[in-house]
């Protein structure tokens, strides 16, 4: 995520390789568990002290922590494409996360001008959980033929003062990520409101 480097480089030196001198390590895999857990294991081999700030929209911080050698250093985060454009960042601790490492993660983002919110480590966290539901409903409206994509976006921007319409939002964030957030929420909660619209599934098959 190049925008993450852009966000941090004014306050921090970006390391060329991972070793014990690195203070913060970002793990940005959102929905492939095998890849994420392999990367976390690789991090454990190369660095035993740095704070791991791990994207936790589809895989909960707790599930990640139990696959880490040093779970006290993992802090979940709501990281997604375009996150740098918003004013806040959601972080999530687990029962293993140390207070010191939570404070370090909080301070890191505050130095970049972000307001930090600590939330419970449920799938989707808060903002992306809600946004994903809005996007899912918008695709259902589009699928039904109730309106076209342009009018759906316009109606939501004018009616709610959202910065983007839901279809536009899905394209900025990435429809594949939205799909996997909804899929993970449906698997965790078993609630029909998280059931993915057929149109989204069709779009994902083309990705």
Instruction: State the Cα–Cα distance between residues 135 and 175, nearest whole angstrom.
Output: 9
Tens-digit pLDDT profile for residues 1-56: 566 666 676 677 888 889 999 999 999 999 999 999 999 999 999 999 999 999 99
Bridge partners of 115, per DSSP, are: 88
Tens-digit pLDDT profile for residues 130-166: 999 999 999 999 999 899 999 999 999 999 888 889 9
pLDDT, residue 191, reads 85
Model confidence band, residue 105 (pLDDT cutoffs 50, 70, 90):
very high
Start-end of H helices in the chain: 2-8, 33-46, 61-65, 99-111, 127-144, 149-160, 166-173, 175-189, 198-204
Threshold 0.85, pTM exceeds: yes
Label residues 162-184 b or e (16+ Cβ within 10 Å = b).
eebbbbbbbeebebebbbbbbbb
Q: CATH number for the 2-118 domain, one of 3.40.50.720, 3.40.50.1220, 2.60.120.200, 3.90.550.10?
A: 3.40.50.720
The proportion of the chain whose per-residue pLDDT surpasses 70, expressed as a percent, equals 94
Taking residues 179-191, what's their average pLDDT?
A: 90
Parse the chain into domains and list their residue ranges.
2-118, 127-204
Architecture of the domain made up of 127-204 = Orthogonal Bundle (1.10)
pLDDT, residue 188, reads 87
- Cα distance between the two ends of the chain: 19
Instruction: State the Cα–Cα distance between residues 162 and 41, nearest whole angstrom.
Output: 40
Residue 194 in this model has a pLDDT that exceeds 80: yes
């Amino acid at each position: 995520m190049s925008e993450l480097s852009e966000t941090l480089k004014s306050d921090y030196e970006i390391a060329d390789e991972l070793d014990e001198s690195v203070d913060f390590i970002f793990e940005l895999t959102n929905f492939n568990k095998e890849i994420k857990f392999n990367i976390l294991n690789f991090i454990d081999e190369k660095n035993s002290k740095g704070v791991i700030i791990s994207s936790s929209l589809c895989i909960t911080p707790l599930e990640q922590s139990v696959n880490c050698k040093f779970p006290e250093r993992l802090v979940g985060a709501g990281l997604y494409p375009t996150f740098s454009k918003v004013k806040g960042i959601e972080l999530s601790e687990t029962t293993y996360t140390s207070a010191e490492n939570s404070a370090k993660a909080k301070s890191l983002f505050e130095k970049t001008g972000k307001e930090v919110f600590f939330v419970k480590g449920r799938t989707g966290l808060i903002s992306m959980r809600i946004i994903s539901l809005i996007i899912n409903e918008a695709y259902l409206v589009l699928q039904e033929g109730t309106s076209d994509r342009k009018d759906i976006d316009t109606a939501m921007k004018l009616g709610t003062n959202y910065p983007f319409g839901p279809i536009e939002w899905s394209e900025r964030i990435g429809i594949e990520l939205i799909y996997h957030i909804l899929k993970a929420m449906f698997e965790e909660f078993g609630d029909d409101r998280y059931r993915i619209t057929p149109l989204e599934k069709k779009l994902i098959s083309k990705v």
